[in-house]
Structure 1
């Protein structure tokens, strides 16, 4: 699930639907940061990237704020990596060929060929694009049943939803020198229309913000009938406009309180109806310390929570592909780490990512068919 099908517009335009975003220090090349954007839920190996989209990574240096509610705030300086694709050439029969290019913050244009395992290199960037095994792990039906029933519905073991499905993977490995002297950065991925006038279709920072924290309507007493996710997708993740901010906050205050109550204990007391993590969630970007080494598990949310509590962080933060971060997600929001780990019953992908470029596993040649309503 993660960010798969995160609203009506994503359902209607699946080619622009970002399923997951990852950011972590390279485990094989120190001094490099890996950025991954997966798109197109239930992709087939015959699917190409859209020539009508810009696939964009945005990176901003972060500073520590005085306000503990949003411990890390983005600066104005931005480093942008834009990937675009040619129309696919399908003249060779069943297979296709497609070319792409990534423009670096310095203006270098790095060409590459889709499905080239070695990728393209230049300007401090290495890039791969092509169908890959969907690495996201979650017992999604059990998570949805939890929301529907108000009781934890996870089992041990659980099952990865439609295990073996594919996505279109876009992998950038960038020299951290491209980010100037920044050490702590925020990372967002976006899909936008390509042309003179760019319209943001989707943007993703942290996983499951839209589907599990903004999606459920029934607990929100202010905007119970409002599908809020398309509005949220159109926002600049580094700077929310005022227009819908009240609606996002009302939804998060209600839904975060729901998650907190699942263990029949209040670990995050509301302050006048405001949940203590609402502003942290709305600061919706992966937080990465590019000076720290790669760590497989335990880095997700570590920097944000450490900074919030006035402690020095110990990990690179961000999100590694093999990290079973949904257990961190559930544990943080349900018991604030004051109780046992809340597990969803699945701990690893059946095809884990490798420690070498392009990291994501090769695609399933015969992926399961998506549910009919998708």
Structure 2
């Protein structure tokens, strides 16, 4: 469960179209302006770019409270206020730098040109709208295992996403005098193409309203054997869920909420309240009121108050630093009886109070290190692991070498069917050390590995260290893969060279 990250087979197969999150809040640097933002491309690497065949859109409709208590209902208007982004193929600017340009089409038809990753963004001549698009630190954090509510560190630590941000004059674009409550959705829609003889274009790839509709509410891991209906949901038209499919989705929500209620072994919801809750979440859009304060804690307050049958006090919405997972799970599991704090209290980086609000992308190199002490002479150990062919490693099925000395390439076929290509950058037999870099095969960049052997009395220590940045895969996944590589390799030397572990490592 990762907000709207990887929320169905279709979006998993097309990461640039995967909408991960949606935000709506009042600008902390200018309270007369509203900020809407969406993120795509989970675990985006430094080379990630926006798709040039997809429209990225944030749509807003005015909403009225049409019922309270067990009849709680939010009714969206038909008129839509839409901000749509279209991005171009890469090009080079006058200085030779590779850039990506984009265009944001505003609700009134005006077009605003921008350059991806331009920190200043782009503004209309009138100054009423400012937009940004680029790579930023992922503002979402997940620090609980759904199956048993176990607290863990943030599973998205060090991850990045692509973000689009729209900041605008609230009164000019939303006219809150006609009603200050709104619902927002974000979606990715394929560029229009003519229908074929035996097919028709996909309506949309992904969309999100409230966080976790797909990965927690519709695809509850506690519902054993339940079919995955996330792609079916993502094909629905936001604000207008198919009447034919509403019963299917509603029943799934009811079953899911009943299961979440019992996840702590205690029933906190009546059947009637669970049904009302399901009705509220079936109409999936992010509610925000621009006339009331939107804070890090106000997420879902509008829905909760309306279900309780009382006027809401905040602007709801979702700020960049809102703890949406713990807020949602506390509501579902124990009806806000006791706050369920996960194992992290913030994302990798907190949001900023100034435009473009999302923190700079994570660029720090990550490190994985391992070592083992061997009851053997350093030269004897180096004669085994100092060879670039890596044939001593139990995970290696075959290695093909190209070239010799510095610059030599090794093409590794792993026993699980994978392939990794690495280049020798430095070898120093006197110091019993060699350094290599990754060419391909691991979802990482700036990847450098070092293997060395150091004498220690009659024994020696074999060390293996890797530095990297995850690239289009979660850091936690890349780290686990690298750690397994190092641990398995060094661990295999115990039997080969009669080793014993260094108690200090």
1:343 corresponds to 2:341:
yes
Determine helix, strand or coil for the equivalent of 2:205.
strand
Determine helix, strand or coil for the equivalent of 1:56.
strand
- 1:249-288 to structure 2, matched below 5 A, reads 249-271=250-272, 275-288=275-288
In the other structure, the counterpart of 1:115 is 117
In 1: Cα distance, 2:130 partner to 2:41 partner: 22
- Could you tell me how far 1:356 is from its partner in structure 2? 0.4
In 2: Cα distance, 1:349 partner to 1:66 partner: 36
Pick from 165, 172, 181: which aligns with 2:166? 172
- Could you tell me how far 1:218 is from its partner in structure 2? 5.6
Does the 8 Å CA contact 1:131/1:168 hold for their aligned counterparts? yes
In the other structure, the counterpart of 1:244 is 245
TM-score normalized with structure 1 length: 0.89
In the other structure, the counterpart of 2:322 is 323
Per-residue deviation, residues 141-188 of structure 1 (Å, max 9, x unmatched): x22xx2xxxx4322xxx3111411110011111221212333100000
In the other structure, the counterpart of 2:130 is 126
- Could you tell me how far 1:103 is from its partner in structure 2? 1.0
In 2: Cα distance, 1:95 partner to 1:191 partner: 28
User: Which deviates more, 38-47 or 358-367?
Assistant: 358-367
In the other structure, the counterpart of 2:51 is 50
> What value does the CA root-mean-square deviation take over the aligned residues?
2.4
In the other structure, the counterpart of 2:293 is 293
Does the 8 Å CA contact 1:330/1:343 hold for their aligned counterparts? no
For these two proteins, the number of residue pairs brought into alignment is: 358
Per-residue deviation, residues 204-251 of structure 1 (Å, max 9, x unmatched): 00111100111136627xxx4522000100111201112322221221
Per-residue deviation, residues 117-159 of structure 1 (Å, max 9, x unmatched): 110111622100011111101125x22xx2xxxx4322xxx31
Does the 8 Å CA contact 1:191/1:202 hold for their aligned counterparts? yes
Does the 8 Å CA contact 1:137/1:160 hold for their aligned counterparts? yes
Does the 8 Å CA contact 1:30/1:293 hold for their aligned counterparts? no
In 2: Cα distance, 1:75 partner to 1:213 partner: 25
In 2: Cα distance, 1:29 partner to 1:294 partner: 13
In the other structure, the counterpart of 2:496 is none
1:135 corresponds to 2:139:
yes
In 1: Cα distance, 2:339 partner to 2:156 partner: 24
Unaligned runs of at least 5 residues, structure 1:
none
TM-score normalized with structure 2 length: 0.67
Does the 8 Å CA contact 1:98/1:113 hold for their aligned counterparts? yes
- Could you tell me how far 1:323 is from its partner in structure 2? 1.3
- Could you tell me how far 1:263 is from its partner in structure 2? 2.2
- Could you tell me how far 1:196 is from its partner in structure 2? 5.0
Pick the structure with greater CA Rg.
2
Does the 8 Å CA contact 1:268/1:275 hold for their aligned counterparts? no
Q: 1:276 to 1:111 in 2, by over 3 A?
A: same
In 2: Cα distance, 1:274 partner to 1:133 partner: 36
Determine helix, strand or coil for the equivalent of 2:253.
helix
Does the 8 Å CA contact 1:257/1:275 hold for their aligned counterparts? no
- 1:1-374 to structure 2, matched below 5 A, reads 1-66=2-67, 68=69, 69-89=71-91, 96-122=98-124, 124-139=128-143, 142-143=145-146, 146=147, 151-154=148-151, 158-176=152-170, 177-180=172-175, 181-196=178-193, 199-216=203-220, 219=223, 224-271=225-272, 275-295=275-295, 297-337=296-336, 339-365=337-363, 367-368=469-470, 369-370=473-474, 371=477
In 1: Cα distance, 2:22 partner to 2:271 partner: 30
User: Which deviates more, 202-211 or 179-188?
Assistant: 179-188
Does the 8 Å CA contact 1:46/1:96 hold for their aligned counterparts? no
Q: 1:118 to 1:279 in 2, by over 3 A?
A: same
| Higher relative contact order (CA closer than 8 Å, sequence separation 6+) | 1
In 2: Cα distance, 1:235 partner to 1:214 partner: 14
- Could you tell me how far 1:345 is from its partner in structure 2? 1.9
In 1: Cα distance, 2:103 partner to 2:263 partner: 46
Does the 8 Å CA contact 1:74/1:238 hold for their aligned counterparts? yes
Q: 1:321 to 1:203 in 2, by over 3 A?
A: same
- Could you tell me how far 1:94 is from its partner in structure 2? 10
Q: 1:188 to 1:292 in 2, by over 3 A?
A: same
Per-residue deviation, residues 2-38 of structure 1 (Å, max 9, x unmatched): 1110000011111100111111111111221111110
Q: 1:237 to 1:42 in 2, by over 3 A?
A: same
In 2: Cα distance, 1:336 partner to 1:347 partner: 21
Unaligned runs of at least 5 residues, structure 2:
195-200, 366-468, 481-505
